[in-house]
Structure 1
């Protein structure tokens, strides 16, 4: 059996699959404090004889296998999780290969291999949920440098009709601070799915996302950009994002047709967990034996 964890800012998803990546069983539960979340993870996986586990986690995380903090969640906005040794906690129970990356890298990988970008050489996956993050795949490889990208914390121009100061504890009015699910809740004291589709705020939200996509287009030039997460469950946002993206880009560089360039996930809500499973098999060379 192969195990996988998608550790998101709002919920954990755990799954086990056979070696053909067919999911046999899965469970989800809220992302609470580390001890409680990991207890739920262990309780689920203890039922199975696992050969390996792939983990896609909210970040920032340490992905440098030469670092003493490899496998840690680092200085995250998620309360109680900073400097938590995620991989080490799993290794204490399971003496098997554990593969470690961000949740958005896992989702991007899933979409590239099995989802909306299956026919593309490169793709960018951006999730807008409790927080905002992004991952980039080029020729089946996850893009990383000194560490993994933090696409949710790029700076954006504040919309002229937006008085909100921002929700990011590190940067206030970065992309995540202005456009994440947390930012929406702090603005309105309600979740995005409780707002009417006709609410004028959605034009502001679309503008922030479009600004980010313009930046990614100019810097990374992906063949496809995939937008997931709870905020993007508002399907009406896609038309506005594409329209505002086109205006912002102003014809400076060419892109594919926007209806095939800016798209929703082909794997729907399973991109992260499928990507974590696939990551186990394909990225064996990244295994670090503790």
Structure 2
């Protein structure tokens, strides 16, 4: 896998591949934290090591591990082991919800008896690694990708679904489970994160009581709905300042902050520096 990723990546980049759900990354140094909204995916490090934080929880993974993110989550990722001689090499495979639902419609599995975190790290079974290798090898046979990639991706999903994290994925895919309703709440927050958050309105939208929503949401995401919305807002504001070069006031207002001082205070708490200092240092 390392040789394939090396051939298809340049120096220090994250890139798409000819398989539309497959992405590669290569980093030759450690240190800088990346704040992003992570979509559901399977991630593998084939050389080096990485960490991913949700809320106050830190997950570390390296060669031989796989990480699964089952919901859209604001996260902080960081390369923890890399060098110019042995760069960090990794891959991400986007999990398509419809494919997941189709798969669970054809296998017999009981959901987890309790809420499970939307992020987990486990040891990769040889059968899972074998399927991933075969998917990567398709990049050298582009004519085979349209026919073969969906079949191998389904096999990869099956290996993940029948592993330790499978019951958590099933909870999300099944209607009328608390975790599925948390997934609905996450989707609503992502669409409406610039709006003022009223827990009663969100709870009613997903068919839960406010206290039940708060409990299950935190059990799955390691954050309260308010903390989740705040991180979405701040990640987007930072992106607007770095990529679109919006000024501090405009970025804060664009993501829903009415008070510049509140925006600066909450930004500093998350990123460790006031907005202008952070953006200047990051450019």
- TM-score above 0.5: no
TM-score (norm 1): 0.25
More helix by share: 2
Larger Rg: 2
